[in-house]
């Protein structure tokens, strides 16, 4: 009995595995088609300084799947990496971001654009050289680009990756550590990182309006970040209560639904223009 039951369980397990494997294969095949078919888009989410100034915007990848609709990166980035497609997709993102940046500079807009780079992307041979030539070809200034790397990459990246980041920063590209507070940080190493700012993960921000402990933690992290000479940006800021706490703490900038959701480029530009004429967060300056 127990044996038969065990067999059935193994069978069921294999079926689930097969379903997952099939699903994964379909995803990789669709991603391959998406690159050629122009199904990717970039959404733009502003970063606002506490003064009210919008100095940067993060470009977030979206995939408009012809049958399944809009797909968020959490659903396909991992598959793209496993399927060996992250280089092409990452290059598309960079090219798209640099084109927007060049356009904004042409229109007299000074915002920086921040792009996410996954550890596997950065570890690819020639990544830094390719990035440098993409910047050069785009005609956009290196100073207008920021790259966001993960805390784990920052802490465990190879010497080659660190050297690459250092050179990139010397060229004028800004560097941020993303989702800070979700990984393991080696504080001795953090102080030597070639970075400009640290983005505090939204899990750190979530409870600051209600919890004194959460406030203490964020206050300490911001003090640490400032002490090392970096800027602190809060992620996932969703309400005015959190905003008030972050202002009191001295956080440099905020990003989140309380400022704006990610938008397509036209909507972002309209939003920006609206603010200059006295937008909703003007009064907060
Ligand atoms: P991330 O870089 O930490 O980006 C912030 C994520 O939080 C975005 O999710 C954004 O839509 C979401 N978000 C922004 N404000 C709020 C808020 O107030 N509340 C909440 N709950 N969420 C907020 P998204 O766009 O789904 O991206 C998820 C992750 O996917 C990103 O996290 C980033 O790690 C990765 N990603 C996005 N675009 C790219 C890309 O082009 N390349 C790579 N390698 N990774 C990317
Ligand atoms: Mg990011
Ligand atoms: Mg983040
Ligand atoms: Mg995050």
> For ligand 1, is residue 181 a contact (CB within 6 Å)?
no
Ligand 1 atom at minimal distance to the Cα of residue 179: 3
pLDDT given for residue 15 in this prediction: 65
pLDDT given for residue 184 in this prediction: 82
Q: What are the DSSP calls for 112-170, one per residue?
A: EEEEE--HHHHTSTTHHHHHHHHHHHHT--GGGEEEEEEHHHHHH--HHHHHHHHHHHH
* 246's tokens: 């972050």
Q: Give the CA distances from residue 39 to residues 36, 111, 262, in Å, rounded to whole numbers and listed in that order.
A: 8, 26, 18
* 151's tokens: 């805390």
Q: Which ligand is nearest to the CA of 45?
A: 1
> For ligand 1, is residue 57 a contact (CB within 6 Å)?
no
* 260's tokens: 């704006």
Ligand 1 atom at minimal distance to the Cα of residue 257: 18
pLDDT given for residue 17 in this prediction: 64
Ligand 1 atom at minimal distance to the Cα of residue 45: 14
pLDDT given for residue 126 in this prediction: 93
Tell me which DSSP letter residue 239 carries: S
pLDDT given for residue 282 in this prediction: 40
Task: List 200's β-bridge partners, or say none.
Answer: 180, 234
Flag whether the ipTM exceeds 0.85.
Answer: yes
pLDDT given for residue 154 in this prediction: 85
pLDDT given for residue 13 in this prediction: 64
Ligand 1 probe mutation, 45, 59, 116, most atoms within 8 A of CB: 116
Reading the chain (285 residues) residue by residue, the pLDDT tens digits are: 767 777 777 676 666 667 888 888 888 899 999 988 999 999 999 999 999 999 999 999 999 999 999 999 999 999 999 889 999 999 999 999 999 999 999 999 999 999 999 998 998 989 999 999 999 999 999 999 999 999 988 888 889 999 999 999 999 999 999 999 988 888 888 999 999 999 999 999 999 999 999 999 999 999 999 999 999 999 999 999 999 999 999 999 999 999 999 999 999 999 999 986 544 444 333
Query: Which residue has the least CA distance to atom 7 on ligand 1?
Result: 236
> For ligand 1, is residue 242 a contact (CB within 6 Å)?
no
* 87's tokens: 């280089």
Query: What is the pTM (predicted TM-score) of this model?
Result: 0.91
Q: Which ligand is nearest to the CA of 77?
A: 1
pLDDT given for residue 280 in this prediction: 45
pLDDT given for residue 132 in this prediction: 96
User: In the chain, how long is the greatest CA-to-CA distance?
Assistant: 76
């Amino acid at each position: 009995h127990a044996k038969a039951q065990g067999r059935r369980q193994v069978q069921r397990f294999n079926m689930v595995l097969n379903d997952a494997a099939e699903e994964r294969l379909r995803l990789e095949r669709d991603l391959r088609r998406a690159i050629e078919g122009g199904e990717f888009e970039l959404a733009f989410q502003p970063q606002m300084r506490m003064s009210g100034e919008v100095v940067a915007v993060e470009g977030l990848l979206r995939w408009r799947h012809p049958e399944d609709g809009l797909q968020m990166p959490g659903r396909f980035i991992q598959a793209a990496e496993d399927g060996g497609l992250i280089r092409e997709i990452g290059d598309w993102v960079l090219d798209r971001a640099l084109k927007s940046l060049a356009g904004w500079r042409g229109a007299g807009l000074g915002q920086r654009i921040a792009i996410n780079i996954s550890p596997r992307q950065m570890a690819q041979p020639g990544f830094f050289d390719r990035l440098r030539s993409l910047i050069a070809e785009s005609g956009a200034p290196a100073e207008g680009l920021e790259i966001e790397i993960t805390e784990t990459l920052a802490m465990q990246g190879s010497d080659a990756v660190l050297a690459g980041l250092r050179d990139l920063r010397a060229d004028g590209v800004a560097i941020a550590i993303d989702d800070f507070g979700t990984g393991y940080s080696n504080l001795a190493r953090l102080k030597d990182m070639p970075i400009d700012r640290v983005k505090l993960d939204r899990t750190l921000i979530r409870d600051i309006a209600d919890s004194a402990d959460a406030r203490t933690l964020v206050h300490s992290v911001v003090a640490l970040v400032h002490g090392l000479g970096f800027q602190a940006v809060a992620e996932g800021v969703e309400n005015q209560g959190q905003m008030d706490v972050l202002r009191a703490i001295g956080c440099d900038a905020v990003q989140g639904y309380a400022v704006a959701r990610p938008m397509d480029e036209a909507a972002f530009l309209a939003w920006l223009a609206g603010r200059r004429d006295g937008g909703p967060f003007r009064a907060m300056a």
